Structure 1
Amino acid sequence: MNKLILLLSIIVIILIKSIDGSKSTTTIECLNEDGESVDWWVIQKQPVVSSMPEDTKYKLGLGYLYADSKNPTWKIPSNTLNDTNSLVHTLNLIYDNYDSKELAWFMYNDQPPTDEADSDYAHSKGVVAFDKTQGFWLIHSVPRFPHDPKNEEYYFPKNEVNNGQSFLCVTYKASSSFADIANKIYINRPFIYAYNFPSNIDLPQLSLIQQTIKGEFDESPRTDTTVLESIGGNSFQVFAKNSAWDQDLYEDLIQPTLKQNMAVTSWRLGSKASIMPTFCSGVNYTYDSINTLTFTFDDPVEGTVNWKYTKDHSKYALSIHETDNYICIGDVNRMYSQYKRGGGSACFINKSLWQSYVDIIQTIDPNCSGDTSFEL
């Protein structure tokens, strides 16, 4: 009998270890609308569009456009942001494994779900998750999102449906990219409100993330840009600035580096003193840095969707008048008040996706060319 009990105990221990170890077999990566592996994906959430019929996803502020590395043109999903989608599939890799000893992850947001973050922290929002081999970096613009997996299951917050928002998820190798990601985070200095760093995960420069959490940072003016290669071999030029640098992310860092005129979509509401007009190349500026104004696209089921920049909280920039088709998706608004905020952006070239973004921009500020259309 004792031998039988001992044997059963051993079997139970093996099964428990097997179940616990199964978490570590989960591949940490960006997942598409069907839960399948993709190198990268983007989501553009639309705001509440009051002109749409009642109970439509756009009236509810839950409509979105989707594209990824396999199909880099806009798809109009039939579901909503409250349904199962690429965002849910990807973040559930953390929510379903938040206490795994094989997964390191952290979430940051200048407007966290429960805490308060003062303006000394970066104007940055995102999620990073890696095992010892690979992981994803999700850059987004949604305040109070996502919630701490240790306390709640995944959901998209009801109080964040009103405005347009942007999301970029990229899958990277840990060995070649995590150290650079950690360095960008350290320079930006975001408010990290949820995290899990198992002792047996030895990621390069993870200590920089831990220093950021402790409030340690470099007070001298700093910027950084590095080309990161995704796991699928795509190049993403990632930019970072800290608050002490005290300049514009776009006109003073991204555009001179990429040598691009750009149209920028970002939150531009606030005091008149902080609202930044379009900059035109000439005596004072090297590049056109143009504000977008209105947006539109046709949903074959629900009709034409229109909205203004005053309802769009996204942060993205597109090349204009250039041969390079850059898309930059990031953290920082084009506002004078954002000079003193850390943050960054990830820029990449994809002609099909770039054209998809161009197609939804209806008008831009006419100050530089005298034309409100997006002339290429």
Structure 2
Amino acid sequence: YNNPKVYSNFSAKVLQTLYPNLTMASWGKEIRTAPFQHEVKLTTPSGTEFKSFAKTSKFNKDLYNDWVADSLKVDLIVETWPNGIGRLNSSCQTSYKVENVDAMKIPQVGDDFTSKQDHSKWAIAFEKEKPWVCIGDINRAVSISSIDLYIILVVTKLILLFYKI
């Protein structure tokens, strides 16, 4: 669901058989028919759960508001870089709210740290019973809807300690 721009590639026939989707991506074959998004649950050997959300440019919606919040069944607060073209506003019109973070208090920095100073992209669930932390490469902006991007989500209380609501 991410369409990499591969300069050069080689894959043995046995690997092409084992990993046909990876092979197709390495050949520059893009997904041209729906669905234009893909969600998969991943679990580490130690039992930590992850979810991966990936979309093609044809998904053409806000990843957080139109998909992630509803899939996880949680309200989200989202911090992405607001300096791009067509920043999306916080949304409260759907089943689950998606609110933008504009500033954070970070005692180590001494002052408010605004999202205009920060190029990271993350989101956390409002509900402490569902401790999702999302880390990815997607800004909430109209201009981003036409790009192939992804986010990884993890359920772990350890990471959530660093993101206090």
| TM-score over 0.5 (shorter chain) | yes
Q: Distance in 2 between matches of 1:204 and 1:357?
A: 42
Q: Distance in 2 between matches of 1:296 and 1:194?
A: 45
Q: After TM superposition, give the deviation of residue 311 of structure 1 in Å.
A: 1.6
Equivalent of residue 341 in structure 1, options 133, 141, 147 = 147
Contact 1:269 1:275 in 2 (8 A): yes
The equivalent of 2:30 in structure 1 is 217
- 1:307 is aligned with what amino acid? F
Equivalent of residue 158 in structure 2, options 339, 352, 357 = 352
The equivalent of 1:233 in structure 2 is 47
Specify the SS of the correspondent of 1:356: coil
Counterparts of residues 221-300 of structure 1 (less than 5 Å): 221=34, 222-271=36-85, 274-280=86-92, 284-299=93-108
- 1:337 is aligned with what amino acid? S
Q: After TM superposition, give the deviation of residue 321 of structure 1 in Å.
A: 3.7
What is the CA RMSD across the aligned residues, in angstroms? 2.5
Q: After TM superposition, give the deviation of residue 306 of structure 1 in Å.
A: 4.3
Q: After TM superposition, give the deviation of residue 298 of structure 1 in Å.
A: 3.2
Contact 1:260 1:322 in 2 (8 A): no
Q: Distance in 2 between matches of 1:194 and 1:206?
A: 17
Equivalent of residue 328 in structure 1, options 134, 150, 165 = 134
Specify the SS of the correspondent of 2:110: strand
The equivalent of 1:145 in structure 2 is none
- 1:235 is aligned with what amino acid? E
Counterparts of residues 136-155 of structure 1 (less than 5 Å): none
Counterparts of residues 1-376 of structure 1 (less than 5 Å): 187-192=1-6, 199=12, 202=15, 205-221=18-34, 222-271=36-85, 274-280=86-92, 284-299=93-108, 304=110, 306-358=112-164, 374=165
Matched residue count:
164
Q: Distance in 1 between matches of 2:119 and 2:66?
A: 22
- 1:223 is aligned with what amino acid? Q
Unaligned ranges ≥5, structure 1? 1-186, 359-373
Q: After TM superposition, give the deviation of residue 346 of structure 1 in Å.
A: 1.2
- 2:50 is aligned with what amino acid? F
Query: Alpha-carbon deviations, 1:161-206, whole Å to 9, x = none?
Result: xxxxxxxxxxxxxxxxxxxxxxxxxx121334687x6649848753
Contact 2:11 2:23 in 1 (8 A): no
Query: Alpha-carbon deviations, 1:37-56, whole Å to 9, x = none?
Result: xxxxxxxxxxxxxxxxxxxx
Q: Distance in 2 between matches of 1:253 and 1:218?
A: 19
Contact 1:237 1:346 in 2 (8 A): yes
Q: After TM superposition, give the deviation of residue 310 of structure 1 in Å.
A: 0.6
% same residue: 23
- 1:268 is aligned with what amino acid? P
Decide whether aligned partners of structure 1 residues 213 and 288 sit closer, same or farther in structure 2, where only a CA change above 3 A counts.
same
- 2:104 is aligned with what amino acid? F
The list of structure 1 runs, each at least 4 consecutive aligned residues, that deviate by more than 3 angstroms after superposition, is: 190-195, 197-207
Decide whether aligned partners of structure 1 residues 226 and 285 sit closer, same or farther in structure 2, where only a CA change above 3 A counts.
same
Q: Distance in 2 between matches of 1:245 and 1:231?
A: 32
Q: Which has the higher contact order (CA 8 A, sep 6+)?
A: 2
Q: After TM superposition, give the deviation of residue 262 of structure 1 in Å.
A: 0.3
Unaligned ranges ≥5, structure 2? none
Decide whether aligned partners of structure 1 residues 219 and 353 sit closer, same or farther in structure 2, where only a CA change above 3 A counts.
same
- TM-score of the aligned structures, taking structure 2 as reference length: 0.85
